[in-house]
Amino acid sequence: MSDRAFAELRAFAWPAYCVAALLVVTPLVDLVANVWPPRLGAVEWRFGTFGLLSGFLLTPLLGMVLATAAAAVLEHRGAQRVFALLDLAGAALLAIVVVMLSLDWLQMRASIDPATRPAIDVGSVKSIGKHAGVAIALAWMGGVGWRASRPSAEARSHRPAPMFRAEG
C-alpha cells in the first residue's frame, strides 16, 4: 500500500470509530428506553428484557467488528487492546445472560398455561442461541484482537536496548 493510500485510510479512522460507536450505543439506548425502569427482582421483567435484548445484539456486534477491523488495519495497537477487552467483557456478560435467561425460562415455563408453552419454548431457545452465538463471536474477536495487538517480532527487534540490565 502506498504512503498516500495509507494516509487516506488513516484519515478514515475517526469517522469509522464514530460509526462503530453509534452501531453499538444506539440499539442499547433503545433497549433501555423500552425496558425502563429496571426491575431486576421480577422474573417476568428479566425474561422479557433478555428476550428483547436478543433482537438488538447483531447491530452492536457489527459495530465492534467495524471498530476492531479499523484498529487492526490502521495498526492502532492501543485501540485494538481496548476493543479486545470490550469484546471479552461483552462475551462474559452475555454468558451470564445465557445462564440467567435459561433459569428464568424454566421458572416462567412452570407458571404459564401449557397451551402457550411451545411458543415460549421456541422463543426462549432462539434468544438463548442468539446470546450464546454473539458471546462466542465476541470472545473469539477479543482473543484474536488481543493477540493481534501485540507488537510484531520485527517491531520488537527494532526497539532500543534497555539502558540498564538486571544482573542475576
Work out the average pLDDT over 59-73: 95
Per residue in 100-143, pLDDT (tens digit) is: 999 999 998 888 888 989 999 999 999 999 999 999 999 999 99
Find all residues with CB under 8 Å of 26, minimum gap 6, and list them: 59
- Measured in degrees and rounded to the nearest 5, phi and psi for residue 6 equal -65, -40
Would you state the pLDDT for residue 167?
57
* Half-sphere exposure in the Cβ direction for 87 (13 Å, CA): 27
What residue ranges do the domains of the chain occupy?
A: 3-150
pLDDT band at residue 151 under the 50/70/90 scheme: confident
Output the pTM of the full model: 0.83
- Do 64 and 140 form a contact (C-beta atoms < 8 A)? no
Highest mean pLDDT among 48-52, 92-96, 118-122: 92-96
Tell me which of 155 and 147 has the higher pLDDT.
147
Instruction: For the chain, give the secondary structure using H, E and C.
Output: CCHHHHHHHHHCHHHHHHHHHHHHHHHHHHHHHHHCCCCCCCHHHHHHHHHHHHCCCHHHHHHHHHHHHHHHHCCCHHHHHHHHHHHHHHHHHHHHHHHHHHHHHHHHHHHCCCCCHHHHHHHHHHHHHHHHHHHHHHHHHHHHHHHHCCCCHHHHHCCCCCCCCCCC
